[in-house]
A and B are shown apart, each in its own frame.
Chain A
Amino acid sequence: MSAHAVARGGSLHRRRALLGYLYISPWLLGFIIFTAGPIIASAYLSLTEYAAVRPPHFVGLANYDRALFGDDVFWKTLYNTVYYAVIFVPLGIAGSLAAALLLNQRIRGQPLFRTLFYIPSITPTVAATFLWLWILSPEFGPLNSTLALLGVQGPPWLGSPLWSKPSLILMGLWGAVGGGTMIVFLASLQGVPQELYDAAGIDGATSWQKFVGVTFPMLSPATFFNLVVGLIAAFRVFTTAYVATGGGPDYSTMFYVLYLYNNAFPYLQMGYASALAWLFMALVLVLVVIQVRIATTWVYYEGEARS
């Protein structure tokens, strides 16, 4: 504390505390109005039948019962979402890490490459989806045309229940690999002390051994962060599917949030949609808690003794 503050003593301290509350008040109000209040309201709505015309009608746990035991589409959307996340998250993290390792080398034009890698991630999702709709277009799209030149008959991509999810994963990866995940890895790589590599080099470690023994442990907090953020992002997949397929064909791209949106707005089943939202939040939180638990076994923080 500064000399100034000590001299004025307690009243200054109180004044500063009041100023502190004043400065954070926009967030605090916003938290109450736009987050905490709605979470509570949504919990109540999830116990009602509500079509936004008549007042909500209390139905107890019926909406949850319906989702878990009476709605095949619910389980289908959960399957689709898990399918998407299980493939998207590891590939996204591996790809971003590879891109970051590449950019961390001293190569000419590094800022240019960084920008090229980053641009897909800031491309508006709607615009990116249009680019891919055209690329993946079964008959005239450049991908299948190129495959045809090689004598391969390309699949109908977004038009086939088998290929629609992989297509959306491909679109998602294109928009994610060079984005925030890569930047987090890159920032973290720049903080790995050179002495560790030097010491490993003296011990005769190969590049691969250096990666496994030095780079990966030093990056583990970044990897953990990316894993949690990536998992939440993957579970929330919406816009690409909404724009490209609308959930089809045959519900193969009906993801959880898309189904939630459909229930809330086009179908006006706001009670049921609120129950879906609460189940979704519970699922996401459980996944995060599991991640945090597992993290203690593999995430290494500097200054921490390691067994």
Chain B
Amino acid sequence: MSIHAQGQILAAPPGLLASRATRSFASKVLFYLLAVVLGLLFVAPFLFAISTSLKEPAEIYRFPPQWLPSHILWQNYAETWTLVPFWRWVLNSGLVTAVTMAGQICSATVVAYGFARFDFKGRGVLFVILLGTMIVPSEVTIIPQFLLFKGLGWLNTYLPLIVPSYFGGGAFTIFLLRQFFLTLPRDLDDAAEIDGASTLRVLVEILVPLSKPALATIAIFAFVGSWNDFFGPLIYLNTEDLFTVALGLYFFKSLPTDSGPVLVQFLMAAAIMMTLPVIVVFFSLQRYFMQGIVMSGIKG
């Protein structure tokens, strides 16, 4: 199917047009109501966390619970930054995430290109192995990997978190991009190659610009995967200065303050601040997101 035809499917999913004609007004209201209720269930924990993060301590433990703080205390956020090296952790996470993302996107692009456009002996078998690695739980490789990085003297550095992303960027990422490349007509490559372009130039100047939806989709996955990663930092990082925000937040939980244990409003503020970047990235790339998924044929 051509890209154009698939684009049309996206623009007007079948099932919508006819259902509009046949569905009564009442069922439409019902669907709308369900969507609102479900949407609220999904965001309610956030709304309550935001409200808690802006409350005075006395109000947090009041019964019955109040949905809105009577005074909005923005300084809870500022205080969170001074309780722990929050900005330091954000910078650490930002650095690790940026370098990891670059590695995942670049190396997956190159590998997917190899699988999508070149014939070589063993390609089929290697691709099946690649898919097979998706069902191998990483728990079985984690101990030898840890020992390998320990042997290299990389413990308590970011290298164990970063370096593996430069080796292919993950099976799912490669699969998604390869599927996307296969939907792009091969004539484009051939025409450019007849004009004397190298294969690398074909990739960078022709395929990559046409693959924005797929690249945006894997960028979201890469960002979320790295920014949210807890297990990697947990086993590889030991000193507070090097913590990423996910790991730092965990230790924040048990950190005592002058006034006793950490108060809930600071924890909520930290959790919200940690989530914001992910939401911003998702919003800025989301118009490509569904398209990237649908066009790659990730439907099982």
Q: Hey, which bits of chain A sit against chain B, CB under 8 A?
A: 2, 4-5, 13, 16-24, 26-31, 33-35, 37-39, 41-42, 45, 52, 99, 102-108, 111, 113-120, 122-128, 130-132, 134-135, 140, 142, 145-146, 148-149, 174, 178, 183-184, 186-194, 197-198, 201, 221-226, 228, 232, 235-236, 238-239, 242-243, 257, 260-261, 264-265, 270, 273-274, 277-278, 280-281, 284-285, 288
Contact = CB atoms under 8 A, between A and B. Distances in A.
A216 to B, nearest CB: 13
B19 interface: yes
B184 interface: no
Contacts of A111: 286
Tell me the interface secondary structure of chain B in the complex: helix
A186 B22 contact: no
A116 to B, nearest CB: 4
B114 A188 contact: no
A155 to B, nearest CB: 18
Interface stretch (B58-66, B76-84, B208-216): B58-66
B45 A187 contact: no
B299 A221 contact: yes
Given A2-B194, A126-B274, A178 B42 contact: yes
Contacts of A127: 249, 270-272, 274-275
B31 A23 contact: no
A97 B239 CA distance: 43
Given A124-B274, A191-B9, A148 B119 contact: no
A20 B167 contact: no
A29 to B, nearest CB: 6
B290 interface: yes
A24 B148 CA distance: 23
Given A20-B119, A142-B48, A190-B13, A201 B22 contact: yes
B261 interface: no
Nearest to B186: A2
Most buried by B among A18, A120, A131, A260: A131
Given A17-B118, A27-B167, A107 B28 contact: yes
B35 A102 contact: yes
A35 B194 CA distance: 39
Interface string B236-272: 0000000001100110010000000000100110111
B52 interface: yes
Most buried by A among B110, B146, B230, B250: B230
Contacts of B5: none
B110 A194 contact: no
A140 B61 contact: yes
Contact of A26 (B16, B28, B111): B111
B168 A31 contact: yes
B293 A124 contact: no
B282 A45 contact: no
Nearest to A171: B45
B135 interface: yes
